[in-house]
């Protein structure tokens, strides 16, 4: 029998929002929530998203940080080039990217694309 998929949702938030721009922790957390919710909504009918939501008590998320807007935007471009479905959250009215979330994926299928990022502290 094939091993069960380990579904995970990767979320990446800009570290400079707090460190350089002085955003409070709650506002930064809200950006991650916006991106994650939007990704789930956009890819709701994907079989992996359905399976992820079917077991709410065992959802697995990994929250990472990007150093800057440029690094976050570059990641979005890399994910697009690799066919990885995601949502780059653009905060309004500021109109700049603050966070990114992929839809739930089998961890082994996408983890290499996130190796350069560290856990959000």
| Residue 20 pLDDT | 93
Write the pLDDT tens digit of every residue in 48-102. Answer: 999 999 989 999 999 999 999 999 999 999 999 999 999 999 999 989 999 999 9
Put simply, whether the predicted model's pTM sits higher than 0.85 gets the answer: yes
β-strand 7-14 against 96-102: which pairing, if any?
antiparallel
Nearest one of 33, 98, 24, 110 to 65, comparing CA atoms: 98
Domains along the chain?
Answer: 7-119 (3.40.1490.10)
- C-alpha separations of 40 from 19, 63, 85, 99, 119 in Å: 28, 15, 10, 14, 21
């Amino acid at each position: 029998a094939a091993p069960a998929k380990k579904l995970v949702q990767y979320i990446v938030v800009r570290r400079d929002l707090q460190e350089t721009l002085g955003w409070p922790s709650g506002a930064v957390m809200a950006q991650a929530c916006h991106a994650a919710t939007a990704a789930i909504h956009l890819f709701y009918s994907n079989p992996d998203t359905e399976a992820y939501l079917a077991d709410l008590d065992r959802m697995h998320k990994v929250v990472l940080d990007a150093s800057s807007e440029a690094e976050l935007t570059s990641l979005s471009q890399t994910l697009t080039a690799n066919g990885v479905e995601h949502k780059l959250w653009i905060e309004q009215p500021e109109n700049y990217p603050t966070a990114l979330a992929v839809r739930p994926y089998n961890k082994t299928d996408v983890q290499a694309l996130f190796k350069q990022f560290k856990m959000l502290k």
